[in-house]
Amino acid sequence: MGMVITAAATALPDRSAPASVVDLAGRAARGALARAQVPASSIGTLINVGVYREHNTFEPAMAALVQKEVGINLDYIADPEPAAGFSFDLMNGACGVLNAVQVGQALLDTGSTERLLITAADVHPGGDAQGDADYPYADLAGALLLERSADPDAGFGPVRHYTADRPTDVEGYLDTATMGRHGRTTITVRREPDHAERLAEFAARAAADYAREFGIDLDETLVIGPSTTADGVGAQGEPHTASPVLGYLRAMDGVRHDEDDHPHDRDYDQFLFVSVGAGPSAACALYRPEGR
């Protein structure tokens, strides 16, 4: 292990203007940097994993725009130290954050960077998820700041990926046959009935497989699974790519919720991140906070 979360933050639209992925991701990133009390210039790599964007924008890479928004080493020739500043998008839906964690482990292990920033932001293409009753996700951003720890027992364990042996029952796409002149501000999200229950069952199987592989006692582990609500941060709709960030912040608050949303006070020495989404695909990674 050795790669730890130094800080995390979330961000919501202020509703005075249409939501923007770049603005939300930038504010979440700055929030994480402020909590860690480190400058933007200390970030060597930024990975953006958001999927849904205003106006269905796909180019240029959102990561480059977020890097500019945060002010991370914008002139790598003039200011190559302490980090040149490299950014890129990594898109794998709800599993994107854990994919970025896996990439981050390789970058930190090889010394390619000292600090890594992951941003995950999704907004409705029209800039207001609340205005579309058929769109399930919240306008929400999250950010994780990662770096190496001197404690070899702290941080992330291996990331594992799992694929179900059945067709996906959730997908988002542009319906070119019906979008007309409003295509830049619309999106179609198709989810089969009971898909949430099927994804939950798949997530549980993935967690059990991961626990067996690495000898983890799930009774002594706090599972940070897919969030079905973002109410804790004041957003309406489901978190999407930012779900692991929101789950981590809730876990670090020391609160665990059962199915009836009753809090249970208990400290856990380790967390198990579990993400699941279209594919169907799932990703799992064990995490041990420093000092536990």
Final residue belonging to a domain, choices 123, 152, 181: 152
CB proximity list for 262: less than 8 A, separation 6 or greater: none
On whether the CB atoms of residues 72 and 43 are closer than 8 A, the answer is yes
Percent of the chain residues past pLDDT 90, beyond the cut: 51
Instruction: Please check whether residue 218 is in contact with residue 264, taking contact to mean a CB–CB distance below 8 angstroms.
Output: no
Residue keyed to tokens 């990561």: 63
- Last residue in a domain, options 128, 152, 176: 152
| 52 and 139 share one domain | yes
Number of domains composing the chain: 2
> Which CATH number is 279's domain given?
3.40.47.10
Instruction: State the chain's mean pLDDT as an integer.
Output: 87
The angle formed by the CA atoms of residues 141, 143 and 147, to the nearest 5 degrees, is: 170
Listed residues 133, 152, 171: the one ending a domain: 152
pLDDT level of residue 258 (50, 70, 90 thresholds)? very low
pLDDT confidence of 146, banded at 50, 70, 90? very high
Could you tell me what percentage of the chain is helix, strand and coil, using 3-state DSSP and rounding each to the nearest 5?
Answer: 30, 25, 40
**Mean pLDDT, residues 14-27:** 90
Domain range holding 207? 157-288
DSSP 129: G
Do 173 and 51 contact (CB within 8 A), yes or no?
no
